[in-house]
Every structure is written in C-alpha cells, then in structure tokens.
Amino acid sequence: MTDILTRNDAVNLEHVAGSSGIVLGANQYGKAEVRVVKVTRDTNRHEIEDLNVTSQLRGDFAGAHLDGDNAHVVATDTQKNTIFAFARDGVGSPEQFLLRLADHFTGSFDWVTGGRWLAESYAWERIVAHGEQHDHAFVRSGQEVRTAAVIADGDERHVIAGLKDLTVLKTTRSGFEGYPRDRYTTLPETADRILATSVSTRWRYVPGAEVGYNAVYDSVKAILLEAFTENYSAALQTTLFEMGQAALVAHPELAEIRFSMPNKHHFVVDLEPFGLDNPNEVFYASDRSYGLIEASVEREGVTSPAEVWASLGAFC
C-alpha cells in the first residue's frame, strides 16, 4: 500500500524524503511570459518598446518543496510586478533590462543565488500617413523576433542574445551531392537547388565585455544575412558555419554563437504528365518533415559553459 502524506499528518517531509533515499534536485521557479509594453511619451513623438519577459529564480527553496514553508518564496506575482516597475524607467536593450532584474533579485533576497531571465522583443515601426511618419501610430514589423537571456550564478553573469524566425531563401548557388546512398535513399543529387531556412541563433558575450547591445544586435543580424548570400552552399551545414564564422570574426566581444536551422525543402514538381518542362522554376514547398541542422561555432580555446546553455532548454 502506498502511504499518502499530508500536512495534517504532521510528518517531517524532509526527514521522510531523506530516509527513503529520495532528495530534492535542481529547481527554479518564477513568472513566465510577462507581456510588458512601454510607451515613452516625453514629447509628442512617442516611442514604443514591446517585450515578453520570463523571470525564474534559483537558490534556497528546499523548504517550500519539502515542508510547505514559503518563507523564501518570492511570489511569482511579485516578480511580475517588478518587471512592470522596472519598465517604468525604460527598457533600453532587452539584455540590459534583464541584467537589471538579475541584479535586483540576487541583491535583494539573500537566499536567491541566481536565476534565469529571458526576453523576446517585438519590433514596431511608424505608420506612414499623408506621406509622413505618424507620431503615435504604429504597425508591427520586423523580419524576426529578437531574443535575450541572462543567466546568473552568484556574481557571475552570462549574457546571451539572439533572434528566431528569420526566414531566408536563395534560389540558386546551392546543392547537395556526394552523400552516402543505400537501398533506402531516394533523394536525387543536385548542384542547383533552392536553399531556404528559418534561422534561430543565440550568441554568448564574453563575460564582462563592454557592449552596446542594440548596435551589436543590428550588426550581427546584418552579417548573418550577408554571409547567407555569399559562396556556393554545398550543404546547409556549410552555410551555417560560414554565417557563425563571419559574426565571430567581426565581433571579438562574442565568445560563441549557436544555430538551429531547419532545411525548408523546396522540391521540383514533375510537370511531364502535363506535357510541360520544368527548368527549376516550379517547386513544392514542403513544411514537414524537414532536416534540422544545429551546431555551435566557437573560438578555439574558449570553454563553452554547458550548464548555461542547458538552462535555456534547447540547443539555442
């Protein structure tokens, strides 16, 4: 028979857990996906900043798990309200905003030793009305979603920036040849195909580096797009590495960069049954299944903190 423990049993749950050989492992908690929009209206021409922020704390929370003791639990509602309060003073870059939150929570509560703070940033641009940019009317824009993360462990801060959903395509100068074939291989080799992908990438800054986060973000995005256009692509893996290499060469403040890039396959449609040729002009865009290419591009001799990347919950 399974014993059921409740608070009414007045059982020391920590003792029971320890005596059974079962203990509490790694844990974190917080408020996820706080949607905060900050409008700066100190002149008639307003500015808008739009974020989705997650705050998760790490530290001494054993009492809450083992004894139902909430003395160390900074309520998730408090974390949400802190995000709103900090936005009152402005956001700036999402990276700097998350660093402010990390410093606040680790500095205000002795038992909070670190945590994870994440943000997505959504772009808006001014609506053009009667030939002029409007002062306070906007339309959602952006080719991608900007991402940021701050991982804190004691006094250490790891700042990771990135983007996702940046869909790119080139209509030629890509192929796929020379791969092993067996009885299950049906894919024909080609030296001229469409190469398309949706770029998700994160780059980690060198700890302690002085960074203008907004300017570096704009530069890295432009470098990645430019590198995608260059050179013949023998495989999406080749292009991925060239994109990462270009970003690291241009920005010494970047320690490493990671990518997750699906191969958005475009297959040439057979038009012969209709008496038509198809000189690589009509394609079927397949949304699934798809190849998924993931890799990190790193500086030689630089150790990548596996625990930091693991805390993000995905390859990048």
Q: pLDDT (tens digit, 9 = 90+) per residue, 269-298?
A: 999 999 999 999 999 999 999 999 999 999
Q: CB 70: neighbour CB atoms within 10 A?
A: 11
Q: Is the fold of 25-154 the same as that of 164-316?
A: yes
What is the predicted pLDDT for the residue at 20?
A: 83
- pLDDT over 90 at 305, yes or no: yes
Average pLDDT, the chain: 94
Q: Is 176 annotated as a binding residue?
A: yes
Q: Is 263 annotated as a binding residue?
A: yes
- pLDDT over 70 at 6, yes or no: no
- pLDDT over 70 at 255, yes or no: yes
Q: List the catalytic residue out of 76, 104, 113, 134.
A: 76
- 106 among known catalytic residues: no
**Lowest-pLDDT range, 5-9, 164-168, 218-222, 309-313?**
5-9
In the block, which residue shows the tokens 């060198």?
A: 206
Whether the Cβ atoms of residue 69 and residue 63 lie closer than 8 Å to each other: yes
Tally of CA atoms within 13 A in the half-sphere of 217 that contains its CB? 21
Segments making up each domain of the chain, as ranges = 25-154, 164-316
- pLDDT over 60 at 224, yes or no: yes
Task: Taking residues 186-193, report their average pLDDT.
Answer: 96
- pLDDT over 80 at 187, yes or no: yes
What is the predicted pLDDT for the residue at 185?
A: 98
Q: Is 238 annotated as a binding residue?
A: no
What is the predicted pLDDT for the residue at 19?
A: 62
Q: Which residues pair with 163 in a beta bridge?
A: 146, 201
- 31 among known catalytic residues: yes
The CATH code that applies to domain 25-154 is: 3.10.270.10
DSSP tag of 7: G
- pLDDT over 50 at 7, yes or no: no
- 277, exposed or middle or buried, with CB in 10 Å at 0-12, 13-18, 19+? exposed
Following DSSP, what letter does each residue of 291-307 receive, concatenated? EEEEEEEE-TTPPP-HH
pTM score of the predicted model: 0.91
Q: List the catalytic residue out of 158, 251, 264, 265.
A: 265
What is the predicted pLDDT for the residue at 12?
A: 44
Whether the Cβ atoms of residue 222 and residue 261 lie closer than 8 Å to each other: no
Q: Which residues pair with 231 in a beta bridge?
A: none
Q: Is 77 annotated as a binding residue?
A: yes
- 221 among known catalytic residues: no
The CATH code that applies to domain 164-316 is: 3.10.270.10
Q: Is 204 annotated as a binding residue?
A: no
Whole-angstrom Cα distance, residue 30 to residue 40? 28
Q: Which bin fits 186, alpha (ψ -120 to 50), beta or left (φ > 0)?
A: alpha
